[in-house]
């Protein structure tokens, strides 16, 4: 299962929640350069993980956002095209969902990262698709 290294994941999550690099560096007691490096590496790893996932399942990628850690793709299910939404969830790795069927923990995660302002599936889909 794909997981970002613990330290990198912490830095990435803080940035995804909207903190500035300087603030992250101050809070974690590391240099700003180290924060920047961790973020760049995290983005590369997330892109790679999402691209790999799409390739394995033959999904067509529509959007990959490594900053907030999500992917929007189109997959096939019984010859019908379905939208697939995949998220990188800290501590859990990547989880993918078909349509608007999001569990509560994903909605909560989306609110925490500022993708949406309330845990509403329709709003989340709209934000991911916009």
Partner 1 sequence: MRLPRTGAFPVRGKPFALFAVSLFGVLLSPYLSEIVAFPWAAPFVVLLVLSFVSTVELDDDVLVLTYGFMIKQRIPLDSVEEVTLLSRLDWATVGKYFPQYVLLWLIATLWVAVDLLVFHGGGNPVRIYGNVFVLSTALLLILALTLPRGRKNVLKVFVLLFAVFLFVFYWAVGWELKALSPVFIFLLFAILLVKGFQDSDFILVLAEGKSYLLSSEKPELVLRLIREALGNVPAS
**Site of interaction with partner 1 (CB under 8 A):** 37, 40-41, 43-45, 47-48, 51, 60-67, 130
Q: How far is CA 38 from CA 4, 87, 99, 113, in A?
A: 10, 19, 32, 18
Q: Which residue lies nearer to partner 1 by CB, 15 or 109?
A: 15
Q: Rounded CA gap, 103 and 89, in Å?
A: 12
DSSP code for 59: P
Least CB distance to partner 1 at residue 50 (A): 9
Q: Which residue lies nearer to partner 1 by CB, 27 or 129?
A: 129
Q: Which residue lies nearer to partner 1 by CB, 6 or 105?
A: 6
Least CB distance to partner 1 at residue 62 (A): 5
Q: Which residue lies nearer to partner 1 by CB, 103 or 126?
A: 126
Least CB distance to partner 1 at residue 54 (A): 9
Q: Rounded CA gap, 116 and 110, in Å?
A: 6
Q: Alpha helices of the chain — where are they, by DSSP H?
A: 6-16, 21-28, 32-56, 104-112, 121-129
Least CB distance to partner 1 at residue 117 (A): 18
Tokens standing for residue 46: 């997330």
């Amino acid at each position: 299962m794909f997981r970002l290294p613990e330290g990198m994941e912490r830095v990435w999550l803080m940035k995804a929640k909207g903190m500035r690099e300087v603030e992250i560096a101050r809070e974690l007691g590391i240099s700003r350069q180290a924060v920047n490096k961790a973020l760049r590496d995290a983005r590369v790893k997330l892109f790679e993980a999402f691209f790999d996932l799409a390739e394995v399942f033959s999904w067509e990628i529509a959007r990959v956002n490594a900053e907030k850690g999500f992917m929007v793709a189109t997959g096939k299910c019984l010859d019908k095209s379905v939208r697939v939404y995949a998220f990188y969830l800290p501590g859990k790795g990547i989880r993918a969902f078909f349509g608007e069927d999001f569990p509560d923990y994903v909605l909560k995660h989306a609110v925490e990262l500022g993708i949406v302002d309330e845990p509403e599936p329709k709003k989340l889909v709209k934000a991911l698709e916009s």
